[in-house]
Amino acid sequence: MHIGSWAAKYTKIKCKFYLVMVSKIFRRTFKYISCLKYNCLSTNGNIYGSPKKLQPVLFEGKGKIEFGNLVTLGYYPSPFYYNGYIHLEARRETAIIKFGSRIFANNNLTIICEGSTIEIGDDVLIGTNVEIIDSDFHEVHPDRRNSGNHKCKPVKIERNVFIGSNVKIQKGVTVGENSIIANGSIVTSSMPNNAVIAGNPAIVVRTLKYERS
């Protein structure tokens, strides 16, 4: 091969290497600045535990937010990593958001606990753009829509549940252990163990049958 071709190839490889290095430095800098920004914007100081934050997290409210061991919030590469954040809000003093251990939550998770408890069990997997709430935030009756007398009901996601992306889980719902919630489902009522759940409103579409290892 001609020496000029070798030089051109070497230059191309060298340029590619530098571009990769610059990209990594830029990504780390962006992540650091974004996380710092949302740390400064957060108003909730009642945080217990130390999750691993791979996406910026906004902690809001007057209640408690608790984390077990090995909780990961956010993921790269995945949608919304650069243009979103995770919103965790325990709104009133009576509100508690509780994460178990070994939980992985992808980007753009939103949890708003207005006044009761939202509990996520051990080994739960959560996809992108998931919303979990314990309240309608407004009264249903038209004459009392803004009365502030609406109710909150606890939400519980039991152990080893797999929540797909774009899922919404409403107040008063318990999802039984090992269950799977399909992408885009809206869960308005409690679900059993070992179920595949899908739809709007979500229903059980089949039961998981397996042998324990």
pTM, two decimals, is 0.87
Tell me the CB-side half-sphere exposure of residue 188, using CA atoms within 13 A: 7
Q: Are 198 and 177 in contact (CB under 8 A)?
A: no
Residue 136 forms part of a structural domain: yes
Name the domain count of the chain.
1
Residue 3 forms part of a structural domain: no
Quick one: the chain helix, strand, coil %, rounded to 5?
20, 30, 50
* 3 state DSSP class of 122: coil
- What range defines the domain where residue 187 resides? 42-207
Report the chain's mean pLDDT, rounded to a whole number.
89
Q: Active-site residues: which are they?
A: 138
Using alpha carbons only, what angle is made at residue 58 by residues 54 and 64, rounded to the nearest 5 degrees?
110
Q: Which residues contact 110 (CB under 8 A, 6 or more apart)?
A: 86, 87, 130, 131, 132
Residue 19 forms part of a structural domain: no
DSSP state of 152: B
Residue 196 forms part of a structural domain: yes
List strand residue ranges (DSSP E) for 164-201, in order. 168-169, 174-175, 180-181, 186-187, 195-199
Q: Which two tokens mark 142?
A: 């038209």
> Which H or E run contains 34?
helix 3-41
Q: Which residues pair with 47 in a beta bridge?
A: 65
Residue 91 forms part of a structural domain: yes
Residue 2 forms part of a structural domain: no
Tell me the CB-side half-sphere exposure of residue 79, using CA atoms within 13 A: 8
Q: Are 183 and 166 in contact (CB under 8 A)?
A: yes
Residue 53 forms part of a structural domain: yes
Per-residue pLDDT of the chain (213 residues; tens, 9 = 90+): 455 565 566 566 667 767 777 778 877 887 888 888 888 899 998 999 999 999 999 999 999 999 999 999 999 888 898 889 999 999 999 999 999 999 999 999 999 999 999 999 999 999 999 999 999 888 787 877 777 777 889 999 999 999 999 999 999 999 999 999 999 999 999 999 999 999 999 999 999 987 665
What is the CATH number for 66?
A: 2.160.10.10
Q: Which residues contact 121 (CB under 8 A, 6 or more apart)?
A: 100, 156, 157, 158, 159, 160, 161, 177
Residue 32 forms part of a structural domain: no
